[in-house]
Amino acid sequence: MTDPGTTMPANRPRRGRPPTSPLTPALILETARALVEREGPDALTLRRLGTELGSNHTAVLRHFTGKDEIVLGLAEQLIEEALAGFVPREDWRDTLTALARRVRTACLAHPAVAVLVATRVSRRAAEFRGADTVIGALRQAGFGELDAARYYRVLADTVLAVSSYEASVTVLDDEARRGDRMAWQREYLAVSPVRYPHLAAVAGHLAAIDAEDQFETVLELLLDAVELRALRAARER
Amino acid sequence: MTDPGTTMPANRPRRGRPPTSPLTPALILETARALVEREGPDALTLRRLGTELGSNHTAVLRHFTGKDEIVLGLAEQLIEEALAGFVPREDWRDTLTALARRVRTACLAHPAVAVLVATRVSRRAAEFRGADTVIGALRQAGFGELDAARYYRVLADTVLAVSSYEASVTVLDDEARRGDRMAWQREYLAVSPVRYPHLAAVAGHLAAIDAEDQFETVLELLLDAVELRALRAARER
DNA sequence: ACCTGAACACCGTTCAAGT
DNA sequence: ACCTGAACACCGTTCAAGT
C-alpha cells in the first residue's frame, strides 16, 4: 500500500528513517498486526517489529512495557473490530447469534492474531459493551440475574473458545501445510472397520463437514437449550 | 531430593551422568511433562530438557526430529491419559458426559501441557477410540450416519476447545498471578451502571461462578439440544 | 549407533550513552 | 523525552568430531 499523502507533508513513516519517526502506540500496534497477519504468530518479534518500523528494536519498549503488552493491545484491537458498530436486534436470540458470528468472523479474519491472543486474552478484553449486550439479551429472554450471569459466561467463553480453536486450526493448516489436516482425513478413511466400526461407518462424512456449518450448529444447539430454559424460567415466575 | 536408592544399584538416572544414559523417547517425554508441569509451558526448552536429563541439549534430537515432535508426543500422552480404561456406559448420554468430563479432568490435571498442546493438537491426536465411542453413542441415540458425524465433530471440538480454554486461564492465573483475574473482577464490579446497566446489575454474581459448574452447564446445554434432535430424528424414521 | 561441543542465526530485556 | 547500541542471558538446529 502506498502512502495516502495527507495534507501535512511531514510525518511519513518510510523504512529506516530515524529523523522524525512518529512511533506511536497505534502505529506500533498496526505494524505488529500487519506483520502477524503476513507471516504468522511466530513472526512477532521485537527485532522484526523494529526493522518493520525502521527503528531500533528496543524503541518500542518506550511505548509498551514489553512484548506481552503488545499482544494484549492486539487482543483489544480484535475485540474492538468484532464489536464495532454493533446494535442489538429486537429479538434476544437474534442479538446473541449476530454477536457470536461477529466474534468468529473477526477471529477468522485475523487467525494468526487470534491464536497469539487466545491464551493471553483473559476476560478483561471481552469488553464491557459486549458483556452488557449479552446479559441484556438474556434478561430479555426471561432469566433472573444469577442465571443471566451464568449463561453469559457459558455462552461468551464457549464462543471465544470455539472461535480461537478454529483459528488455530486455520493457522496450522496454513503454516504446516505439509498436510497435517489431510493426514488425519486419510487416516480416518483407512481406519480398521473391525476395531472401530462406528468410526469406519461414518468416516466418509467426516471430511465433508463445513467449518461454518459446524459453528452454526454449536450456536444453534446452545441457543436451543438456553431458549428452552428461558421458557421454563418464565413459566415458573 | 536425595536418591531413593532402589534395590537394583545399576540404572539410576542421576543428574549429569553420561556413562549409561538410557535416553529413550518415553523417558524424554516423561521428563518433558514433569518439567512443563513444574515450571510452566515456557520452560520446555531443549536446553533445559537436556540438563534435566543429564545430557547434551542436542541429544534428544536423536529421538525426536525437533521440539515440535516432542510437543506432539505430549499431546498424545494427554489424550491417552484421558481415555485410559474408559468403557462406554449403557446410556448414550452417560457415555458422552463421562467422556467429556475425562477430557476436561486430564486438561486441568496438566494445564500447562494442555496449553502447550492446544494450538498444536490437530485432530489426529483425538484418537480413533474416542471418536469411535462418541459416534457409537450418537448412533445409539438414533442419528443417521451423517448426523452422527456432524454431532461428533461438534461435541468433540467444543469439549476440547472449552477444556483447553479453561486450562489456559488456569495457567495464566498461576504464572501471572499479579492479579489479571482479580483485576477484571474488580473492574466488573466498578462498572458504570448508566452505561452498562445489565452488566452492573449482575456483576456481583459473575465472580461467584464456579468453573466446574460452568463446564457442566455447557455440557448439559449441548446434550439437551442433541437429545431433542435425536428424538426428532427417531420419530421421522 | 549414539552422543558431544562448537557454531550459527536468532530471541527479550536492561542500561549507559547520546541528542 | 525519546532513541541508539552494546551487552547479557537465553533460544532451536546443524554438523563435524568423538567413542
Report which listed range, A114-128, A162-176, A199-213, is most confident. Answer: A199-213
B42 is near strand D: CB distance < 7 Å: no
Give the integer Cα–Cα distance in Å for A224 and A219. 8
Decide if B75 is inside a domain. Answer: no
Partner A, chain B 67-126, Cβ-Cβ below 8 Å:
115, 118-120, 122-124
Give A190's pLDDT tier (boundaries 50, 70, 90). Answer: confident
A-B C-beta contacts closer than 8 Å: 187
pLDDT in tens, B162-203: 999 999 988 877 765 554 455 667 778 888 899 999 999 999
Expressed as residue numbers, the domain containing A47 is 9-64
Q: A58-67: list long-range contacts, CB under 8 Å, 24+ apart.
A: A59/A21, A59/A23, A60/A23, A60/A28, A62/A23, A63/A23, A63/A24, A63/A25, A63/A28, A64/A25, A64/A28
Q: Domain with B222 in it: what CATH number?
A: 1.10.357.10
Give chain A positions within 8 Å (CB) of B131.
Answer: 188, 196, 199
Give chain B positions within 8 Å (CB) of A194.
Answer: none
Candidates B113, B139, B157, B173: best to mutate against A (most CBs of A within 10 A) is B157
Count: domains in chain B: 2
Decide if A124 is inside a domain. Answer: yes
pLDDT in tens, B118-130: 776 655 556 788 9
Query: Are A27 and A34 contacting, i.e. CB atoms less than 8 angstroms apart?
Result: no
Write down the pTM of the prediction.
Answer: 0.87
Decide if B172 is inside a domain. Answer: yes
User: Is B207 in CB contact (< 8 Å) with chain A?
Assistant: no
In this complex, the residue of A184, A191, A205 whose CB is nearest that of residue B122 is A184
Give the integer Cα–Cα distance in Å for B128 and B110. 22
Same domain, B136 and B206: yes
Give A103's pLDDT tier (boundaries 50, 70, 90). Answer: very high
pLDDT-above-70 percentage for chain B:
83
pLDDT in tens, B130-143: 999 999 999 999 99
B12 is near strand D: CB distance < 7 Å: no
Decide if A107 is inside a domain. Answer: yes
Q: B193-201: list long-range contacts, CB under 8 Å, 24+ apart.
A: B195/A128, B195/A132, B196/A128, B196/A129, B196/A131, B196/A132, B197/A132, B197/A136, B198/A132, B198/A133, B198/A135, B198/A136, B198/A139, B198/A148, B199/A128, B199/A131, B199/A132, B199/A135, B201/A135, B201/A139, B201/A145
Same domain, B125 and B179: yes
